[in-house]
C-alpha cells in the first residue's frame, strides 16, 4: 500500500488486496440484491449516468426536488445494513468510535461519470468521508474548496481508498471517465464506488 496526498485528499493506493476486494464485492452484491440499483434524476431533471443504491440507516437520494438522505429505498423497503467488511475499512482508517450512517453504492457502467461536486448533504463536516474503489479504473479529479480553479487528477484502481477529511472534507471532486472493461474484478466490466458518511 502507498499513501498519496493530493491537495489534502488522502489516497491509499492498494489498500485492499484482491482477496479483500472480493470479500467487499460479495458484500456489495448482497446489498444490491436487497436494495436494487436505480438511476436517480438530478435536480436539473437529467438522469445521473451512474446507477446507485445504499446501505445503512440512510441512503443518499436525488430527484427533481434536490439531493437528500432518505430512510428508505425508492421501493419502500429499509436499506440493508452496512456490511462488516466495509465497516472494517472505516474503522481501520478513521479509528473513530462512531460508524458511518450511510454507505452509498455507485455503479459506473460504460460511459458513466460524476461531475465535480462537494459532499455537503451531511450535518457535520468534522466527520470524514471514506470512499472505496472496486473494478475498472476511474479518473478521479480533485478541485478546490470552492467552485472553479485548477484541478488535478489521479486514476483510482480497484482496492484504492480515498479519505476526504479535515481541510479536504469539502473539496470538489468527481470522476471524468472510467476505463470500461480494463479491470478484472467485475467480469462484465464497470466500476463500483462505495462512499461512507456520517449523516446526522
The residue ranges that bind ligand SIN (CB under 6 A) are 106, 114, 131, 133, 138, 140, 156, 173, 175, 193, 195
CB of 132 within 8 A of CB of 193? yes
Least Å distance, CB 81 to ligand SIN, is: 21
Nearer to ligand SIN, 87 or 156 (CB): 156
Choose from ligand SIN, Mn ion, none: what does 106 bind? Cβ within 5-8 Å by kind: ligand SIN
DSSP structural state of residue 182: -
- Per DSSP (E only), the strands in the chain are 2-6, 9-13, 51-56, 59-63, 66-70, 102-108, 114-117, 129-135, 138-142, 152-156, 161-164, 173-178, 191-197
Helix axes 18-34, 84-94, angle to 10 degrees: 130
Nearer to Mn ion, 22 or 113 (CB): 113
- 119 sits near Mn ion (criterion: CB under 5 A): yes
Choose from Mn ion, ligand SIN, none: what does 193 bind? Cβ within 5-8 Å by kind: ligand SIN
* Separation CA 13–CA 9 (nearest Å): 12
> Counting Cβ atoms within 10 Å, is residue 20 exposed (0-12), middle (13-18) or buried (19+)?
middle
For Cα atoms 186, 91, 80, give the angle at the middle one, nearest 5 degrees.
55
Nearer to ligand SIN, 76 or 148 (CB): 148
- 136 sits near Mn ion (criterion: CB under 5 A): no
Choose from Mn ion, ligand SIN, none: what does 53 bind? Cβ within 5-8 Å by kind: none
Residue nearest to ligand SIN (CB): 193
- 122 sits near Mn ion (criterion: CB under 5 A): no
* Separation CA 118–CA 92 (nearest Å): 24
Nearer to ligand SIN, 9 or 97 (CB): 9
Nearer to ligand SIN, 79 or 140 (CB): 140
Least Å distance, CB 191 to ligand SIN, is: 7
Closest CA to 133 of 74, 69, 178, 96: 178
> Can you give the binding site for Mn ion, defined by CB under 5 A?
119
Amino acid at each position: 500500500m502507498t499513501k498519496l496526498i493530493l491537495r489534502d485528499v488522502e489516497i491509499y493506493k492498494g489498500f485492499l488486496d484482491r482477496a479483500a476486494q472480493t470479500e467487499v464485492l460479495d458484500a456489495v452484491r448482497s446489498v444490491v440484491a436487497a436494495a436494487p440499483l436505480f438511476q436517480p434524476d438530478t435536480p436539473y431533471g437529467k438522469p445521473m449516468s451512474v446507477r446507485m443504491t445504499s446501505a445503512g440507516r440512510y441512503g443518499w437520494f436525488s430527484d427533481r426536488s434536490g439531493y437528500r438522505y432518505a430512510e428508505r429505498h425508492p421501493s419502500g423497503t429499509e436499506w440493508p445494513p452496512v456490511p462488516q467488511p466495509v465497516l472494517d475499512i472505516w474503522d481501520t482508517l478513521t479509528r473513530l468510535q462512531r460508524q458511518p450512517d450511510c454507505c452509498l453504492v455507485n455503479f459506473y457502467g460504460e460511459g458513466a461519470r460524476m461531475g465535480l461536486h462537494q459532499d455537503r448533504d451531511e450535518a457535520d463536516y468534522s466527520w470524514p468521508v471514506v470512499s472505496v474503489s472496486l473494478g475498472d479504473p476511474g479518473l478521479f479529479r480533485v478541485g478546490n474548496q470552492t467552485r472553479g480553479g485548477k484541478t488535478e487528477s489521479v486514476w483510482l484502481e480497484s482496492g484504492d481508498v480515498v479519505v476526504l477529511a479535515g481541510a479536504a472534507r469539502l473539496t470538489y471532486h468527481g470522476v471524468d471517465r472510467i476505463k470500461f472493461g480494463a479491470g478484472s474484478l467485475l467480469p462484465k466490466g464497470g466500476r463500483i464506488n462505495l462512499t461512507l458518511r456520517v449523516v446526522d
